[in-house]
Structure 1
Amino acid sequence: MNGAVPFPLDLPELTIGDVAEGLVRRTILPSGVRILTEHIPGARSATIGYWVAAGSRDETGAEGASPSHFGSTHFLEHLLFKGTPSRSALDIAIAFDSVGGEHNAVTSKEYTCYYAKVRDADLPMAVEVIADMLTSSLLDNGEFETERGVILEELAMAEDDPGDVVGERLFEAVLGAHPLGRPVGGTPDTIRAATRDAVWEHYRAQYRANDLVVAAAGAVEHDVLVAQVTTALVAAGWDLSVSAAPRPRRSSTPATLSGATPLRVVGKPTEQVSLMLGFPGIVAADERRTTMAVLNSVLGGGMSSRLFQEVREKRGLAYSVYSYAPSYSDAGVFAMFAGCTPGREGDVSELMLAELGRLASDGITADELDRAHGQLSGSAALALEDSDTRMSRLGRSELTLGEFVDLDESVRRLMAVSADDVQELARELAAGPLSVAAVGPIDDDAFRQVAPV
């Protein structure tokens, strides 16, 4: 394939590629449901995902207000597995366990996906069961209260993980009042305050035919899957005869961030300080996203990266040290992480900032650029050996990017990234407002050299 293929929302049928190499097809039903498949020659299994274009950022209300939809996204991820008029929660579990399949869900800030991986012969079952869950969940009051306890336990487990806590605090610090700054799973307070009626309102507002994207990859025949999905959704009670345009994609115009804070410290009696330094990043559709991948690879993307070599290998100040750059439709974060002995957090912070500053001032070497090209192209190729990755690529391409980029085009874009491109982006990041988050036996004074308050 030469170049990216756009996914226009007004094109009912689209075909990309060929049968020998892997065929990608997309159908938009009159109701706005979008169905995408990637046929993988020789595969004997398939991964299917039902994607809803709603995540934690789409929850409305205010903490303490009534009604508030905060926490609804996480509640629905749990409750849709708890039974429908035709299937109990146990029936759903048995359906997949009895064929050796995998099924689960993932909630993010901008979407929710219910997915399964099964043998090719069992794909019709997965289509039917997930469609039933998505459209016909009982949202039973008793199950609601049970899952409230389960979610609170899940949040408590995350609260015991300093890495989870510091990540949430950094997002709050960098993104401030933006809805992307809120925790995906909600907080104990919002989960305790959530009501079944508020979650039902959120479901009714977000889980509609034109919000739905069904993506499948592996041993899948497109026309057959379209018929199966249509039959399953109609049987579950959705009226697909009503014409509707697919839900428009989110705006990719970078948001104006407000309410950011330079320092978030959480005192905990841990053996290590979990430390993150962050800056506003780039949006998901930014043309520089491949440049960001190269920058991240050089700075903190592997054992040969600058952070790993400078902080761990040369000085022994951390075991885990890396960088990453999550991006969303209208905002992003660039972050560096390290876990270190209490008392060393100031030195480690200065070292990490110095490495980013060196990228901005001096750029990267030809050898570093070559290694990044090799690392990223190789990891991309290996990831696509898995139908889960291919299914996720289809879902994200449809919901977020509005274009399909195959491996050849990804590598072409990667090889076009120059050292000057990386240095320019590093300068932009380093000039942005710095936020520091830390969890451990520390206080604010530890960071006065890097984040004065």
Structure 2
Amino acid sequence: MNGAVDLPLGLAELSFRAAGESLVRRSVLPSGVRVLSEQVPGARSATIGFWVAVGSRDEQPTGAGHPATYGSTHFLEHLLFKGTAGRSALDIAVSFDAVGGEHNALTAKEHTCYYAKVQDRDLPMAVEVLADMFTSSLLDAGEFETERGVILEELAMAGDDPADVAGERFFSAVLGEHPLGRPIGGTPETIRAATRDAVWEHYRANYRPQDLVVTVAGAVDHDELIRALERALSDAGWRMDEPGTPVERRTAEPAPLERGPELTVVERPIEQVNLLVGVPGLVASDERRPAMSVLNAIFGSGMSSRLFQEVRERRGLAYSVYSFAPAYSDAGLFGMYAGCAPQKAGTVVELLRSELERLAEHGVTPEELARAAGQLGGASALALEDSDTRMSRLGRAELTLGEFQDLDEALRRIALVTADDVRALAADLVSRPYSVVAVGATDEAALSGAAEAVSATSVA
């Protein structure tokens, strides 16, 4: 495979060899269902995912003719495990437990995925059960109320974790009113207000043949997978011969953002202050994403990174310190995290900013570039030993990027990143409006000076 492979929505069949001689195949069925598989030589297990490009950002307030759907995506993720006309919740659980398999789901900001990992011989069973869950869940009223309590407990658990609280506030601060700034799981208020009718409407509107993407990686035969999937979906009542067109991918144009609060402080009587400092980042399709990967590796990923060395090793100000750069279809973030003593919080905020500013001004060394390339290449290769990672890579390629990159292509793009690319990107990030979030035993007065200094730098 040379270069990335485009995944046009209108192309019915596609097949190619990827790095390591894995065989990638993609079929767009007449109904609009998209199926991607990666057959990995020597694998004895497979991971399968049923995806829809619907996440927390797609939920709507009350509008003409429809109820509010805030929190519905996460609610629905829970409910699809609670039973269908042919299977109870226990039946679903037993199906996987009886063969030593794993099954779960995740709700993200731009997609939802229901997945399972099984031995190769049990893949037909996984296809059948996941297809039944996906198409035919009852959303029973009694189970709905039971699961409401479960989700409220899940949110309460996250609310007790100061790092989780800081993360949610950080997205809201950087992205403002953009839908990506909302919590993925909803809030206690939206979950209490959710109705079965609203979640049912959300289900029927977004879980259709044209929305479904099925990805499988590991020990998989593509033709057998297609037959099993078509049989399972037909048994569920879907008309697989009825023409359909896959839903369009999201726009890749960066959205206009209006920042939320410049400084957010959540007072908690805990030993550390959880700090997040950051700016809007890059969208997923930005051609500078390889440079962002390199920048993040050098700046805040791993024990040799600049943040770790300066904040922890040299100054002893934090135990945990790192940077991160999530990217979505039309927005992204670049953030820096540190957990520190309350009396050190102001110093750490200024230090995080100054380290990024130093990177923008002085750039990186050839040694750092080489180390970043080795780190990214090694981490990617190790991750691909797991069929879960390969399955997820297929899903992201189909739903978000519209292209597939194998390991060789990813490393080729990383190798093209220059020191000038990294410095220019750092300078761009430094120029963007900063947001500061703190959760812990501190207050706005203690941090306002540091926040103002960071903000002044971004404006200068």
**Structures share fold, TM-score greater than 0.5:** yes
Q: Which residue of 1 aligns with 2:209?
A: 209
The 3-state SS of whatever aligns with 1:328 is coil
Q: Which residue of 2 aligns with 1:282?
A: 282
Q: Which residue of 2 aligns with 1:91?
A: 91
- Give how far 1:243 is off: 1.1
- Give how far 1:242 is off: 2.0
Q: 2:349 & 2:431 partners in 1: Cα distance?
A: 16
Deviations 1:128-163 (A, max 9, x none): 000000000000000000000000000000000011
Alignment of 1:260-409 (within 5 A): 260-409=260-409
Alignment of 1:235-246 (within 5 A): 235-246=235-246
Structure 1: segments with no counterpart, 5+ residues: none
Distance 1:85 1:270, change over 3 A: same
Q: Which residue of 2 aligns with 1:8?
A: 8
Moved >4 Å (runs of 4+): none
The answer (yes or no) to whether the contact 1:173–1:435 under 8 Å persists in 2 is yes
Q: Which residue of 2 aligns with 1:195?
A: 195
Correspondence 1:79 to 2:79: yes
Q: 2:153 & 2:448 partners in 1: Cα distance?
A: 35
The 3-state SS of whatever aligns with 2:451 is coil
- Give how far 1:421 is off: 0.3
The answer (yes or no) to whether the contact 2:30–2:240 under 8 Å persists in 1 is yes
Q: 1:284 & 1:230 partners in 2: Cα distance?
A: 32
- Give how far 1:309 is off: 0.5
Relative to the length of structure 2, the TM-score reads 0.97
Deviations 1:1-22 (A, max 9, x none): 1110100011000001179811
Q: Which residue of 1 aligns with 2:458?
A: none
Q: 1:223 & 1:373 partners in 2: Cα distance?
A: 37
- Paired letter, 1:411: L
Q: Which residue of 2 aligns with 1:419?
A: 419
Alignment of 1:139-150 (within 5 A): 139-150=139-150
- Give how far 1:259 is off: 4.4
The answer (yes or no) to whether the contact 2:19–2:407 under 8 Å persists in 1 is no
The answer (yes or no) to whether the contact 2:271–2:342 under 8 Å persists in 1 is yes
Q: 1:177 & 1:205 partners in 2: Cα distance?
A: 24
Q: 2:264 & 2:190 partners in 1: Cα distance?
A: 21
Correspondence 1:26 to 2:38: no
Q: 1:346 & 1:20 partners in 2: Cα distance?
A: 49
Deviations 1:280-323 (A, max 9, x none): 00001111111100000011001000000000001111000000
Q: CA RMSD in A?
A: 1.4
Correspondence 1:169 to 2:169: yes
Relative to the length of structure 1, the TM-score reads 0.98
- Give how far 1:355 is off: 0.6
Q: Which residue of 1 aligns with 2:432?
A: 432
- Paired letter, 2:170: L
- Paired letter, 2:356: L
Q: 1:59 & 1:74 partners in 2: Cα distance?
A: 10
Q: Which residue of 1 aligns with 2:450?
A: 450
Q: 1:295 & 1:234 partners in 2: Cα distance?
A: 48
The answer (yes or no) to whether the contact 1:62–1:70 under 8 Å persists in 2 is no
Deviations 1:395-423 (A, max 9, x none): 00000000010111111001000010000
Correspondence 1:155 to 2:155: yes
- Paired letter, 1:94: V
Correspondence 1:134 to 2:134: yes
